[in-house]
């Protein structure tokens, strides 16, 4: 029987760029997500918290991508894609027995640690991902003692609102040449062009459209986003329960993939949410941390010996599966990745 173990990770997350994590929108404006927390004075208070569910979703995607890339970048059926990237779904006539569930855990450690729905059965995951709590005055009760500070600022001091403008590029004259309808209209003789313009105006009037919106300035809209400032620090707990060495390797592989673009929250396309993370590790019963388990930033990853050994074992496992898959010597893997559930 394979040896399993429990592990606790205590993480410190430092923002290298502003974070957007929307909880409420009013018109075009969006505001940071807030949870209710009991503050140091024993009274409930709302405070920004980055959802553990959101980060767990990122890790699931990273683990699935790492797996499929290591298997040669193979394409899988849509149902299998949802199983790996979203956790699958429950329903339908399909069913799965205990032996089949064990097969999933054996062949797909990345799926085993996150769990999900297969047929009409839920497979419980082994990974408990906590939310990220900023090191602010409101969170003093929920963060470890080593991170507490009676002089910590309020979370509202770490936030600000920033306005953006989204332009309607179709109204910019220097880009008109790339619009097919505009090019056609420009090519019409003057008289016919005038008739087309009149007909177009009549159509707009009949549909009661706002001519100002259609023919107004290039600015389409202005919107505001509430952000957590760069430099903010957050604390996070992660528990790995009943983990095998291969499953821990699958978890480390997800963070390995994540360090290639370590962004959390929304608007990452415009640079928001860049972060660096350091996890310390301990076993149940430990009174102190055993040191750094893993540290990552953009394209930089440090692994402790336990993390490195687990990832190497997982890589070797995937290499064996990859060769077996290509040579059709791994019918179990082929069956699972093909979405065949009996």
Question: Got the DSSP string for 165-186?
Answer: EEE-GGG-GGGGGG-HHHHHHH
Per-residue pLDDT of the chain (342 residues; tens, 9 = 90+): 468 999 999 999 999 999 999 887 777 788 999 999 999 999 999 999 999 999 999 999 999 999 989 888 877 778 778 888 988 766 655 555 566 666 777 788 888 899 887 767 778 899 999 999 999 999 999 999 999 999 999 999 999 998 877 766 666 666 566 666 555 666 656 666 666 656 666 676 666 555 444 444 445 678 889 999 999 999 999 999 999 999 999 999 999 999 999 999 988 988 999 999 999 999 998 989 999 999 999 989 999 999 999 999 999 988 887 676 555 445 556 566 655 545
Query: Is there a single domain that holds both residue 11 and residue 126?
Result: yes
**25: in domain:** no
CA 63 to chain centre: 11
Give me the pLDDT at residue 208, please: 52
What pLDDT, on a 0 to 100 scale, did the predictor assign at position 82? 84
Looking at the structure, tell me whether residues 247 and 115 fall in a common domain. yes
Q: Alpha-carbon dihedral of residues 202, 204, 210, 211, nearest 10 degrees?
A: -60
Residue 329's pLDDT is: 42
Domain contains 185: yes
Pairing between β-strand 34-38 and β-strand 44-48 as defined by DSSP bridges: antiparallel
CA dihedral defined by 24, 27, 30, 36, rounded to 10 degrees? -20
Half-sphere exposure (Cβ direction) of 127: Cα atoms closer than 13 Å: 25
pLDDT at 99 (0 to 100)? 63
Q: Quick one: 140 exposed, middle or buried, by C-beta within 10 A (0-12, 13-18, 19+)?
A: buried
Number of domains in the chain: 2
Q: Are residues 104 and 177 in the same domain?
A: no
Three-state helix/strand/coil letters over 94-160: CCCCHHHHHHHHHHCHHHHHHCEEECCEEECCCEEECCEEECCHHHCCCCCHHHCCCCCCCHHHHEE
Considering the domain architecture, whether residues 74 and 124 belong to the same structural domain is answered as yes
Cβ atoms of 7 and 251 within 8 Å: the answer is no
Among residues 183, 217, 251, the one where a domain terminates is: 217
Return the exposure string of 28-44: e unless at least 16 CB atoms fall within 10 Å of the residue's CB, then b.
eebbbbebebebeeeee
Give yes or no: residues 106 and 194 share one domain. no
CB 138 within 8 A of CB 47: yes
- What are the residues whose beta carbons fall under 8 Å from the beta carbon of 186, sequence distance 6 or more? 176, 193
Residue 151 lies in a domain: no
Same domain, 245 and 317: yes
Q: Are residues 72 and 124 in the same domain?
A: yes
User: If you search the block for the tokens 């956790």, which residue do you land on?
Assistant: 87
9 and 74 both lie in a single domain: yes
Chain centroid, CA 203 distance in Å: 45
How many C-beta neighbours within 10 Å does residue 214 have? 13
Is 4 in a helix, a strand, or coil? coil
The answer on 237 and 268 residing in a single domain is yes
- Give the residue numbers spanning the domain of 175: 169-217
Q: Give domain status of residue 138, yes or no.
A: no
Counts for the chain of helices (H) and strands (E), in that order:
10, 15
206 and 321 inside one domain: no
Return the pLDDT at 211. Answer: 46
Domain assignment of residue 342, yes or no? no
Instruction: Please indicate, yes or no, if residue 64 is contained in any of the structural domains.
Output: yes
Q: What are residue 239's DSSP bridge partners?
A: 8, 128
Same-domain pairing of 297 and 259: yes
Domain assignment present for 269: yes
Contact 133, 45 (CB under 8 A): no
> Same domain, yes or no, for 213 and 326?
no
**235 bridge partner residues:** 12, 133
From 182, 217, 252, give the residue that closes a domain. 217
Residue 152 lies in a domain: no
């Amino acid at each position: 029987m394979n040896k399993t173990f429990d592990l606790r990770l205590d993480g410190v997350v430092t923002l290298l760029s502003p974070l957007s994590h929307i909880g409420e929108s009013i018109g075009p404006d969006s505001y940071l997500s807030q949870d209710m927390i009991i503050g140091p004075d024993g009274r409930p208070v709302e405070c920004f918290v980055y959802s553990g569910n959101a980060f767990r979703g990122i890790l699931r995607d990273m683990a699935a991508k790492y797996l499929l890339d290591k298997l040669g970048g193979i394409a899988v059926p849509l149902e299998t894609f949802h199983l790996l990237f979203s956790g699958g779904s429950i329903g339908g006539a399909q069913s799965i027995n205990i032996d089949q569930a064990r097969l999933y855990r054996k062949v797909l450690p990345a799926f085993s640690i996150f769990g999900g729905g297969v047929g009409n059965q839920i497979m419980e995951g082994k990974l408990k991902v906590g939310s990220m709590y900023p090191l602010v005055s409101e969170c003093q009760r929920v963060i470890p003692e080593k991170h507490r500070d009676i002089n910590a600022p309020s979370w509202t001091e770490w936030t600000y609102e920033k306005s953006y403008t989204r332009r309607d590029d179709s109204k910019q004259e220097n880009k008109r040449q790339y619009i097919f309808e505009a090019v056609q209209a420009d090519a019409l003789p003057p008289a016919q062009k005038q008739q087309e313009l009149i007909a177009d105006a009549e159509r707009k009037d009949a549909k009661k459209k706002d001519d100002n919106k259609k023919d107004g300035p290039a600015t389409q809209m202005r919107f505001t986003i509430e952000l957590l400032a760069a430099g903010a620090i957050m604390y996070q707990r992660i528990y790995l329960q009943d983990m095998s060495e291969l499953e821990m390797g699958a978890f480390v592989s997800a963070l390995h993939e994540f360090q290639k673009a370590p962004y959390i929250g929304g608007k990452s396309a415009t640079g928001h949410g860049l972060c660096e993370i350091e996890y310390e590790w301990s076993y149940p019963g430990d009174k102190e941390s055993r040191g750094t388990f893993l540290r990552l930033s953009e394209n930089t990853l440090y692994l402790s010996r336990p993390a490195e050994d687990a990832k190497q074992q997982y890589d070797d496992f995937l290499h064996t599966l990859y060769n077996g898959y290509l040579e059709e010597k791994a019918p179990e893997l082929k069956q699972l990745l093909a979405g065949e559930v009996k």
